[in-house]
A and B are shown apart, each in its own frame.
Chain A
Amino acid sequence: MDIRRFPGTRFATWVFFLYLYLPIVILIALSFNENRSATIWTGFTTDWYVQVMNNGDILNAAKNSLIVALWATVIATCAATFAALGMARRRFKGQTAVSGVLAMPLVVPEIVTAVASLLFFILVGFDLGLLTVVVAHTVFCIPFAYLPIRARIEGMDPRLGEAAADLYADEMRTFLRVTLPLLWPGILAGAMLAFIISLDDFVITYFVAGAGATTLPVYIFGAIRIGISPEVNAISSLMLIVSLLFVSLSTLLTWWAGRRGAA
């Protein structure tokens, strides 16, 4: 008997991956289905993608999504990088509390964050629109950007940081020449994750977006509520593919950086 093997686990894993990926594969396959009824296969077509590309509402929503994701990513990644650098220095009182605060967006249920943000924006007197969406996205992007950067710093030789702290006069240059280049893969991975999380977010956006700031997921949600259609299949598939590309890139980057050694 092979004692490293537990009978049934291999089967469970197969079923698991089938369950995980079959719906995604089917969705993408159906987006090329010529038939309008969406689930009865009659032939291959890329018409729905052409229609998506010519749909002004979708293009506008995509533009909004990109604007929001870009701003949220840039702001969140900068803040997260600084925070990770600050946290990496010697331990201080309240460090756990700061970690807790930074992790909060991961813990609080989205629907609660959404409601709280909505109330806040209304009661403070912000007009709901792209700006409120960017602000809300920046908040939940911070932990996603923060964690990979923090992990990268943890993996770095602490003596390098000490050396940097030691060299008072050259601190800025040491940062630019030593810390930042070493940190770069972590920052990039964090930024990519933040970008994707922002691009994919629905619940919070749905609450704080107001009329003019429809993003792609909000648009898709509205379309699904009207009914399933081949266009929804197509735009959904596009979103899936973009996410898959980004995650794969981000992961490869981390592996590649890991192989080069965290120095």
Chain B
Amino acid sequence: MLEAIRRSPRLQRLLLIGPAVAIVVVFMLLPLGLMAYVSFLERGQYGGVIWDQYTVEAYVGFFFERDFLDNLVVNTDYVSIYLRSFLLSLLTTVIALAVGFPVALYIALQPPSRRKLLVFLVTIPFWTNLLVRNYAWILLLRTNGLIDQWAQGLGLTDQSISILYTPAAIAIGLTYSYLPFMVLPIYASLEKLDFRLVEAAYDLYATRLQALRRVVVPLSLPGIAAGCTLVFIPCLGAYVTPELLGGSKELMIGNLIQLQFGASRNWPLGSALAFTLLAFVLLAMLVYLLRFRKLPE
């Protein structure tokens, strides 16, 4: 047996890679498949599912609900939550790009030792607890919170401002949570950029802004695309931020899904919502991979 392993590199490889792949396949791929399966099942009377009753009711439930006469009536609740999630994610991505690009550019133009430190400082918050970081914003944003206190102290306003539990609060929290994901990939592509190309642009009469637009941005496009993808995707599936900063009215997809497994006890709908979210995410990934992974360096 041992001799057989020793003789066969393929067997060795199988034994080495096997466990990790098995764990992910059994406890992630399989559950995802199961989830897709459940989304096509009839919901049970008191939660759960009825195993042999197949239906697309969950997907129909996206757009319609049944009134007491069992007629389908258009229901925009879920669609509007999806729409809100998309818009908030898009807004967050745009803000993150607007802030992240100059930051990445600044860091990329620092001397190497300084660069390393700054990159480290950008990554740190990623490794700290998301829940806690969003909680900190409650302290800042709530009525009589710190921002409110400062604004009143500075005389900017004489009545208390309440940002918490608004879409703005969600946008702030999401941007805060995922901004480093924008900075790092853009930095990575800017760092590789040969600055002599920028000099060449200056030499050929391009001003700073033109050099930026014609040379720096096009050449860091793969990084920009990666950053946008990396911010947009987790925003779309965000749960903690809208839960803490959005309150009960400003739901996003993540909260809607959670509700189906909590209070609403509608597993098929929850699964269908989750599966649709996954489809969107994979689509976004696919678009990114097809469009940007094959560009020349």
Direct contact of A and B (CB under 8 A): yes
With A123-B34, A135-B27, A240-B128 as contacts: A111 and B102 at CB distance below 8 Å? no
CB of B105 closer than 8 Å to a CB of A: yes
A24 touches B128 (CB 8 A): yes
B21 touches A83 (CB 8 A): yes
Return the contact of A228 from the options B29, B139, B261 (Cβ within 8 A).
Answer: B139
A142 touches B202 (CB 8 A): no
Residues of chain B within 8 A (CB-CB) of A248 are 124
Return the contact of B106 from the options A9, A104, A112 (Cβ within 8 A).
Answer: A9
Q: For the complex, give the distance between the alpha carbons of A83 and B14 in Å.
A: 9
Q: For the complex, give the distance between the alpha carbons of A13 and B107 in Å.
A: 8
A6 touches B105 (CB 8 A): yes
CB of A80 closer than 8 Å to a CB of B: yes
A111 touches B31 (CB 8 A): no
**B129 to A, closest residue via Cβ:** A200
CB of A105 closer than 8 Å to a CB of B: yes
CB of A68 closer than 8 Å to a CB of B: no
Residues of chain A within 8 A (CB-CB) of B136 are 23-24, 26-27, 236
Return the contact of B274 from the options A5, A21, A116, A123 (Cβ within 8 A).
Answer: A116
Return the contact of A111 from the options B13, B142, B274 (Cβ within 8 A).
Answer: B274
Residues of chain A within 8 A (CB-CB) of B122 are 20
Return the contact of B19 from the options A27, A82, A120 (Cβ within 8 A).
Answer: A82
Q: Smallest distance from the beta carbon of B265 to chain A beta carbons, Å?
A: 12
CB of A16 closer than 8 Å to a CB of B: yes
Please encode chain B, from 77 to 110, with 1 for each CB lying within 8 Å of some chain A CB and 0 for all others: 0000000000000000000000110110111010
Q: For the complex, give the distance between the alpha carbons of A9 and B187 in Å.
A: 13
Please give the number of chain B residues whose Cβ is less than 8 angstroms from any Cβ of chain A in the complex: 90
CB contact list, A146-180 vs B, under 8 A: 146, 165, 168, 171
A8 touches B128 (CB 8 A): no
Residues of chain A within 8 A (CB-CB) of B50 are none
Q: For the complex, give the distance between the alpha carbons of A191 and B180 in Å.
A: 22
CB contact list, B136-195 vs A, under 8 A: 136-140, 142, 144-146, 149, 176, 179-180, 183, 195
With A139-B27, A236-B132 as contacts: A27 and B139 at CB distance below 8 Å? yes
B24 touches A105 (CB 8 A): yes
Residues of chain A within 8 A (CB-CB) of B208 are 3, 6-7
CB of A196 closer than 8 Å to a CB of B: yes
With A5-B109, A16-B103, A82-B19 as contacts: A240 and B132 at CB distance below 8 Å? yes
B35 touches A20 (CB 8 A): no
**A247 to B, closest residue via Cβ:** B127
**B148 to A, closest residue via Cβ:** A39
CB contact list, A1-31 vs B, under 8 A: 3-10, 12-13, 15-17, 19-21, 23-24, 26-27, 30
The 30 sampled A-B contact pairs (Cβ below 8 Å) are A6-B102, A16-B103, A23-B137, A26-B136, A27-B136, A39-B139, A39-B142, A75-B23, A82-B19, A89-B12, A104-B24, A107-B282, A110-B237, A111-B253, A111-B277, A112-B257, A112-B277, A116-B28, A117-B28, A119-B34, A120-B31, A123-B38, A200-B131, A207-B261, A221-B131, A232-B135, A240-B129, A243-B129, A244-B128, A251-B123
Q: Contacts A8-B102, A207-B258 known; list 17 others, CB within 8 Å.
A: A3-B199, A9-B103, A9-B105, A27-B135, A27-B136, A39-B145, A83-B16, A83-B21, A85-B16, A86-B14, A104-B29, A117-B27, A138-B23, A139-B24, A202-B129, A232-B135, A243-B128
> Which A positions have Cβ atoms within 8 angstroms of B?
3-10, 12-13, 15-17, 19-21, 23-24, 26-27, 30, 38-40, 75-76, 78-80, 82-83, 85-87, 89-90, 92, 98, 101-102, 104-105, 107-113, 115-120, 123, 135-136, 138-139, 142, 146, 165, 168, 171, 193, 196-197, 200, 202-203, 207, 217, 220-221, 224, 228, 232-233, 236, 239-240, 243-244, 246-248, 251, 255
